[in-house]
Amino acid sequence: MDPQPPAAPPTLAAGQPIRWSNWYLTASKLAVGLLIALLIALLWLLRDNEIEEQRSTLIADVLWLEQSLRFHLEGNAQQLQQLALDIAHEEGRSQLFRTRGQHLIKTKAELIQLVWLDATGNSVDGLPTPDLPSAALSIFGGAQTNTALDLANKLGKSVYSQIYREQEQPQFDLYVPIYENRRLRGTLVGVYSLNALIKELVPWWFAEKYQLRVLDSNGEVLASNSHVRADVGTLSYEVPFDPPGDGLLLQVSVYRSAGSIAQTLIATLIVLLAGAVFWSLWAVRGLIARRIEAEQALRAEHAFRKAMEDSLTVGMRARDRSGQITYVNPAFCRMVGFSAEELIGQRSPNCYWAPEEMEKTQRLHDSVMEGRAPSEGFELRFMRKNGERFDALVYEAPLIDADGRHTGWMGSVLDVTERKRAEELARQQQEKLQFTARLVTMGEMASTLAHELNQPLAAIASYNTGCLNKLESGNFTREELIAALGKLGVQAQRAGRIIRQVHDFVRKSEPKRVPCDLAEIIDDSIGFIEPEARKRGIRIVREIQGMRPELMLDQVMLEQVLLNLMRNAIEAMSGIADLPAERRLLTVKLAQRDGQMEIRVIDRGPGIPAETQKKLFTPFFSTKPDGMGMGLNICRSIVEFHHGRLWIEDNPAGGSIFVITLPVRQP
């Protein structure tokens, strides 16, 4: 193949060629060489550190094992001392000795024999045999001359014997004196097997790592947890084995590990890596040239995206996962009145948080940081730099980098202050319209209510005159006056109730939902409209079915809905001159169905055509010549405010049915 011509030197954006000097590559090689030397030194230090750490671990494990053995032997000694006390003071000593002794022999594998000697050193009883091991007697010249036994009886406390061999097995004894009223009554002798003690109390993980040997004062090995010897030169550590003492040592050695192979492999890989680095230096020139080209393209792309971001009217704010602001666009800066330099780097609470909503804002901030930001967004009140408050609608989305990692949150912030003002103005207009509708309804029923109010007032005057006449004549009884005054009070309460209902109905107030009984609201509404219905010859029937739970409602607003619907039904039936009396019936039903309370207002009028029903709840649409066309629209708005529904159905018996449903459990 023909040799390739040398590549032209890459150029910067300004057109200047990239020039390379030999010192750059030389410096790179020296840096790599220094790195290799440092890595070799690091490996050496790591090896020394590993040995030191292994030694520290060995010492800690040996001390733990020595402490475990000591605690175990001391625990056994305490149990034997307790048995000696019980034998000295309780009756049934022989049975107690055998019962407790059998338990100790079974639960303590290292305790192979338990012997009870009397004050003269003769065997009283023992488990499994009453005689001391023959090796112990041969060493000490018999129980009567046993030094450990004499020492235990003189000192009045437990004493361990020297190590001796019984059938080539190392053993030692524990002598516990038995005293009754400060008089020596005997001795308990516990015979221990050293091999069984090591086997029982050395855990498996310790045996896998270390070789444990018990040495006597002459350095002879008495017992070991393994017959495999540790390599010469491995780490080892010795501690006194006390109890039983008498010059015994615990020697622990570390088994040699195969760690050197791993270290050799690491060193080889380091050398190979160094060679690869030297080779890669020759490719740096081309890589840097391509990097400069990529940077130029990136700058152009950044400028394009920056122009797009600057043209946005939506505020953009980026935060990392700890809540620190990392980016804001100009629209957000204009919105809050702070510069990007003032905002970037801030953590919660931020300078644009309104103090009066600090707790709410902090709670929503924590929810976003935990990944629980509402997908539909949330509203907050922020504060501009000049102290002015504004309402903001915030949408938060995860911020994912080029590697697919979640690095933070990107928030879109909209200033909705003007929109909320418009909504509030519309709401106020709607409330004024509802209030006007109530006044119109009240005005239309005024004459009927005045007639209804006239009846209790006339009755009050009549009862009052009767009482005065009785008092003037002197011909009366106390019971007659009490009955008349009681009826007078009933009529006064009736008149007051009518006036209070009218006052509550026409009074302008903010919507207030409180626990209400729908049956009571229906009764109050019927009480308002019933005089007008009687005047027009229409009978009102109420049907309440089953249990009725209390609902969170605005009583006056719901009364307005029922009055409007019943009044429309009365006018519809009154408009038919030849309607028979039995058909002049207005029925109000209340029932609970599928977790909802349902109210039906049923009339027997002419009904409403299907094409008219479609436009019935449209604003400013009315079937009456002098109607405003807002009554039913307001009724539907009130029902929807209570999270319910309002619609119309045809009555199979003729007429119309207006249906209201309200959820039992409202949000």
Q: What is the pLDDT of residues 317-347, one digit of tens each?
A: 888 888 889 888 888 888 888 888 888 888 8
> Does 489 share its domain with 633?
no
Q: pLDDT at position 448, please?
A: 47
Lowest mean pLDDT among 48-57, 154-163, 556-565, 611-620: 611-620
pLDDT band for position 600 (cuts 50, 70, 90): very high
Is 363 or 510 the better-scoring residue by pLDDT?
363
pLDDT band for position 301 (cuts 50, 70, 90): confident
Q: Which of 462, 495, 510 is the last residue of a domain?
A: 510
- pLDDT score of 142 more than 70: no
Number of domains in the chain: 4
Q: pLDDT at position 659, please?
A: 93
Kindly state whether residue 304 falls inside one of the protein's structural domains: no
Q: pLDDT at position 13, please?
A: 40
- pLDDT score of 541 more than 80: yes
> Does 117 share its domain with 228?
yes
Kindly state whether residue 17 falls inside one of the protein's structural domains: no
Q: Which of 237, 270, 303 is the last residue of a domain?
A: 270
Q: The domain spanning residue 199 has which CATH number?
A: 3.30.450.20
Q: Which of 452, 487, 510 is the last residue of a domain?
A: 510
Q: Where are the beta strands (DSSP E) in 122-235?
A: 123-127, 159-160, 164-166, 169-180, 183-193, 210-215, 221-224
Model confidence over 26-46: pLDDT tens digits?
666 677 777 777 877 877 887
Give the three-class secondary structure for 118.
Answer: strand
> Does 163 share its domain with 262?
yes
Q: What is the CA angle 130-134-136, rounded to 5?
A: 100
Q: Which helix (H) or strand (E) holds 25?
A: helix 22-89
Lowest mean pLDDT among 328-342, 414-428, 585-599: 414-428
Average pLDDT over residues 429-433: 66
Q: pLDDT at position 503, please?
A: 59
Average pLDDT over residues 514-538: 83
Kindly state whether residue 172 falls inside one of the protein's structural domains: yes
Kindly state whether residue 345 falls inside one of the protein's structural domains: yes
Share of the chain above pLDDT 70, in %: 79
- For residue 489, the enclosing domain spans 418-510
Q: Is the peptide bond before 244 cis (omega within 30 degrees of 0)?
A: yes
Lowest mean pLDDT among 113-117, 140-144, 349-353, 488-492: 140-144
State both tokens at 504. Answer: 């509550």
Kindly state whether residue 281 falls inside one of the protein's structural domains: no
Kindly state whether residue 279 falls inside one of the protein's structural domains: no
Q: pLDDT at position 23, please?
A: 62
Q: How many CA atoms lie within 13 A of 486 on its CB side?
A: 6
- pLDDT score of 362 more than 80: yes
Please state the pTM of the whole predicted model: 0.37
Model confidence over 236-281: pLDDT tens digits?
888 888 888 778 888 888 876 545 566 667 767 777 776 777 677 6
Q: pLDDT at position 136, please?
A: 59
Q: pLDDT at position 578, please?
A: 75
132 neighbors 191 (Cβ within 8 angstroms): yes
Q: pLDDT at position 138, please?
A: 52
Model confidence over 106-127: pLDDT tens digits?
888 888 888 888 888 788 888 8
- pLDDT score of 140 more than 60: no
- pLDDT score of 7 more than 60: no
Kindly state whether residue 12 falls inside one of the protein's structural domains: no
- Among 191-200, 527-536, 544-553, the range of highest mean pLDDT: 191-200
- pLDDT score of 178 more than 80: yes
Q: The domain spanning residue 498 has which CATH number?
A: 1.10.287
Report in angstroms the alpha-carbon separations of 548 from 391, 476, 553, 590, 592.
41, 48, 14, 9, 7
Q: pLDDT at position 601, please?
A: 92
Where b means 16+ CB within 10 Å and e means fewer, 570-589 reads: bbbbbeeeebeeeebbbbbb
Average pLDDT over residues 208-218: 84
> Does 442 share its domain with 332?
no
Average pLDDT over residues 496-507: 60
> Does 163 share its domain with 234?
yes
Q: pLDDT at position 459, please?
A: 62
- Among 296-310, 328-342, 437-451, the range of highest mean pLDDT: 328-342
Q: pLDDT at position 366, please?
A: 86
Q: pLDDT at position 397, please?
A: 85
Give the three-class secondary structure for 224.
Answer: strand
> Does 328 share its domain with 258?
no
Of 512, 599, 598, whose CA–CA distance to 564 is shortest? 599
Share of the chain above pLDDT 90, in %: 1
Is 581 or 590 the better-scoring residue by pLDDT?
590
CA distance 215 to 201: 17
CA distance 372 to 326: 20
What is the average pLDDT score of the chain?
A: 77
pLDDT band for position 381 (cuts 50, 70, 90): confident
> Does 51 share its domain with 198?
yes
> Does 238 share its domain with 321?
no
Q: The domain spanning residue 664 has which CATH number?
A: 3.30.565.10
> Other CB atoms closer than 10 Å to residue 219's CB: what's the count?
8
Q: pLDDT at position 6, please?
A: 41
CA distance 43 to 154: 62
Q: pLDDT at position 413, please?
A: 87
Is 656 or 420 the better-scoring residue by pLDDT?
656
Lowest mean pLDDT among 386-390, 446-450, 576-580: 446-450
Model confidence over 450-468: pLDDT tens digits?
545 655 676 677 667 778 8
Of 325, 340, 409, whose CA–CA distance to 369 is shortest? 409
> Does 462 share its domain with 320?
no
> Does 600 share its domain with 481?
no
Is 404 or 618 the better-scoring residue by pLDDT?
404
Kindly state whether residue 30 falls inside one of the protein's structural domains: no
Q: pLDDT at position 261, please?
A: 66
Average pLDDT over residues 521-531: 81
- pLDDT score of 364 more than 70: yes
> Does 528 share its domain with 621?
yes
- pLDDT score of 187 more than 80: yes
> Does 466 share its domain with 377?
no
Pair type for strands 551-553 and 539-544: unpaired
